[in-house]
Amino acid sequence: MRIYLPSTLIAARSVWADQRVPAGTGFAVTPALREWYAQSESEEELEYAVLHDAARGSLRLLDMDPSAPRRRLVFVAEVPDGDARVRDDLERGVVEIDFALPWSAVEAIHVDEDGAEVLAAVHEAADNIVEADLGGDDAAFTVDSVEGFELLWFAPQELPDLL
Dihedral sign for Cα 100, 101, 103, 108, please. negative
The model's confidence at residue 42, banded by pLDDT at 50, 70 and 90, is confident
Identify whether the C-beta of residue 31 lies closer than 8 Å to the C-beta of residue 88.
yes
**One-letter identity of residue 103:** W
As a whole number of angstroms, the distance between CA 52 and CA 121 comes to: 15
Helices (H), the chain: 9-18, 31-36, 43-64, 116-133, 137-146, 159-162
**Which pLDDT score, from 0 to 100, does residue 89 have?**
78
Give the CA diameter of the chain. Answer: 42
**Which pLDDT score, from 0 to 100, does residue 62 have?**
96
Q: Report CA dihedral (74, 156, 22, 50) to the nearest 10 degrees.
A: 30
As a whole number of angstroms, the distance between CA 82 and CA 74 comes to: 21
Of the options 1.10.760, 3.30.450, 3.20.170, 1.10.3470, the CATH number for the domain spanning 2-113+152-157:
3.20.170
Q: What is the CA radius of gyration of the chain?
A: 15
As a whole number of angstroms, the distance between CA 49 and CA 37 comes to: 9
Identify whether the C-beta of residue 93 lies closer than 8 Å to the C-beta of residue 27.
yes
As a whole number of angstroms, the distance between CA 79 and CA 77 comes to: 6
The model's confidence at residue 35, banded by pLDDT at 50, 70 and 90, is confident
Per-residue pLDDT, averaged over 103-122, amounts to 93
**Which pLDDT score, from 0 to 100, does residue 106 have?**
97
Mean pLDDT of all residues belonging to the chain: 91
Task: Count the alpha carbons within 13 Å of 67 in the hemisphere toward its beta carbon.
Answer: 2
